[in-house]
Structure 1
Amino acid sequence: MWAGIYPAVTTKFTQDDRLDHAEMERCFALMIEAGCDGIIVCGSLGEGPMLSAGEKLDILKTARSVAGGKPVLLTVNEAATRDACTMGKAASMAGADGLMVVPSPIYHTDHGETVTVLKSVAAAADLPVMIYSNRVAYRVDVTSAMLEELAADERFVAIKESSDDIRRTTEIVNLFGERFDLFTGVDNLAFEALTMGAVGWVAGLVTAFPRETVAIYQLLKQGRRDEALAIYRWFRPLLDLDVSTYLVQNIKLAEIHAIGTNDRVRAPRLPLSGPRRAAAEKVILDALASRPQLPSF
């Protein structure tokens, strides 16, 4: 159902901490124009936990206005299952094409609780669902045993696999074949996952470098592995910025230099400063100075 490059977009704020819809329209459009296949709003990179329910729905509306009919998914990452179900229903009414569902990022659910959360949200929203498994950041791992319980419900169409273990990609493909659209959610494992059977990439640095991200996917899809690998090797230092406690600030700093936007974040986050900003900025500027010329694809 879903495949390709799905940016986990950043949320843009004005100087007085309101949503900057005009800037989001501009930035989201750059990704669609570059050939991205969908948009995911209000995730970790989108500072979803810091947004109100109304703000999330407003961002969904903005994304849909520029997506050109491509799928727009809203991330459901509420702490309480009741609130997650309410958010899912609201997203459905607002026209979301699907949900990316994170089991509670506050309480670390066990096997039975994780399955129950996912089933409850899917039933409440009655939308296609991408399951977000991230044992590193959220300490909730949607295992293959859980997927076996969820597979009977056709609303579960995809999984964003972010376990940081490339072996999981092969495991899911071996067990389920094409039952789930398998996406990688770890930027600096994307090439590896795509070559091992993932059909899509929920990407972070794509918000600053959309053409390069799309090029890697499309070249691999066309069997042009060496050309894709050359771009990926250049990209790797940038992609490492996604695997960090400061991924939001890192990627927004990259967006400043690559697409001319700002790095405003919502408190308690603050923009990078001091040595941490200098280190990230060096990676970004070094990459821009050696940016490869992309082949036609």
Structure 2
Amino acid sequence: MTQQFGGVICAAVTPMHGLTIDHEAFAMHLHTLAMEGCSGVLVTGTTGEGPSIGLSERPQLVKTAVSAANGLKVLAGTGCSSLTDTITATRDAFDNGADAVVIVPPYYFRRASVDGLFNYYVAVIEQSVPADRSAMLYHIPPISGVPITVPLAQRLFDRFGDRISGVKDSGGDMAYTSALLETVPGLPVFVGSERVLLEGLMLGAAGCITAGANSAGAACVRVYDAWRSGHESAGDLQSKVTELRAVMESYPPGAAAYKALLRLRYGGVSWDVRPPLENHGPEVLDEMVERITALDLDLCRGLQGNAVAKQEAYRIREAARPTGFVVLTLLVAHEHQP
């Protein structure tokens, strides 16, 4: 099988001003991700608040991503509880230029059998995925309640071959990751968190599809590049990325945490989350930035130690103007060579 995707793919947030999607801010963010070395972007995934984005809104969001991609592969999350909605969303994604779709199992149906889920995916793929495009399976049972079991992945890969371009594995269980890679050779697996990027690569994963790339894309790319080149720095880089992720995970939900940092990074007002999620207030952002600057991170060459990082973070926090950069950007190198 020819691998279609690899590297660091960002599970992108969806910029919003109130309840309205800001396509200009989205295009700006995708430009940054491309400059930082990400290979692709996932639109309307979990971090992109996909379940909160209606079928009528999705086509333009995909179209914006394709127009602003600047070399990024565009993947669209299209899985819904309704089979017909999933088919519609998938068709719309491809009609507007998506390179692939990422389909979560029909959440809510927690007791669905492997046969039932197989039939669901067969219907979606046969009715909405063109022969020259592909679908990725989305395993995130802590959120969806419905796993992509190894037997299900095996059956779908046997049935469709290259039209199944991989599994986004956000289950957080590396034993599952290992079993999937061993049992279904040739099926690309993407870990769903940069926290386990290096471990996944060592097992044979193709890369990661992660929310963390929204604000630490360059650092994730450096881990990937170091591993690919066999550079000994991969382990140290992974440790730093893991520390960053641990901070972010302590301010759930992820969409709100990353949008809080991006509001500081880009300025503007288009970094709200939709109900039922809630925005983080300034006190949470201050604490988050303080914790990040307290980490002993020195990936940016221009910084002379953590004290300078803290001082610069404070200046940016006070200025909070559109030309500013969030501390995470200051603490990761934009060059991609280890």
TM-score of the pair, normalised by structure 2 = 0.80
Alignment deviations for residues 156-204 of structure 1 (CA, whole Å, 9 cap, x no partner): 12111122111222212222222x1111012322221122111110011
Task: Tell me how far 1:58 sits from its aligned partner.
Answer: 1.1
Q: Which amino acid aligns with 1:100?
A: V
Residues of 1 paired with 2:109 and 2:251: CA distance? 21
Task: Tell me how far 1:89 sits from its aligned partner.
Answer: 1.4
How is 1:158-177 mapped onto 2 (pairs within 5 angstroms)?
Answer: 158-177=166-185
Task: Tell me how far 1:209 sits from its aligned partner.
Answer: 1.7
Task: Tell me how far 1:271 sits from its aligned partner.
Answer: 0.8
How is 1:2-17 mapped onto 2 (pairs within 5 angstroms)?
Answer: 2-14=5-17, 16-17=18-19
For the aligned residue pairs, the C-alpha RMSD in angstroms reads 2.2
Which residue, 218, 223, 234 being the options, matches 1:216? Answer: 223
Answering whether residue 143 of structure 2 is matched by residue 141 of structure 1, we say no
Q: State which structure, 1 or 2, has the greater radius of gyration over its C-alpha atoms.
A: 2
Contact 2:8 2:38 in 1 (8 A): yes
Answering whether residue 268 of structure 2 is matched by residue 232 of structure 1, we say no
Task: Tell me how far 1:290 sits from its aligned partner.
Answer: 3.1
Contact 2:193 2:212 in 1 (8 A): no
Residues of 2 paired with 1:286 and 1:117: CA distance? 48
Which residue, 101, 105, 109 being the options, matches 1:103? Answer: 105
Structure 2 gaps, min length 5: 301-332
More deviation in 86-95 or 235-244?
A: 235-244
Which residue, 115, 118, 140 being the options, matches 2:118? Answer: 115
Change (3 A) 1:173 1:160: same
The residue that corresponds to 1:129 in the other structure is 135
Q: Secondary structure at 2:8's aligned position in 1?
A: strand
Contact 1:36 1:214 in 2 (8 A): yes
Contact 1:103 1:114 in 2 (8 A): yes
Contact 1:6 1:202 in 2 (8 A): yes
How is 1:48-197 mapped onto 2 (pairs within 5 angstroms)?
Answer: 48-108=50-110, 109-126=112-129, 127-152=133-158, 153-154=160-161, 155-178=163-186, 180-197=187-204
The residue that corresponds to 2:273 in the other structure is 265
Structure 1 gaps, min length 5: none
Q: Secondary structure at 1:208's aligned position in 2?
A: helix
Contact 1:255 1:261 in 2 (8 A): no
Contact 1:209 1:258 in 2 (8 A): no
The residue that corresponds to 2:33 in the other structure is 31
Residues of 2 paired with 1:229 and 1:27: CA distance? 28
Residues of 1 paired with 2:156 and 2:249: CA distance? 29
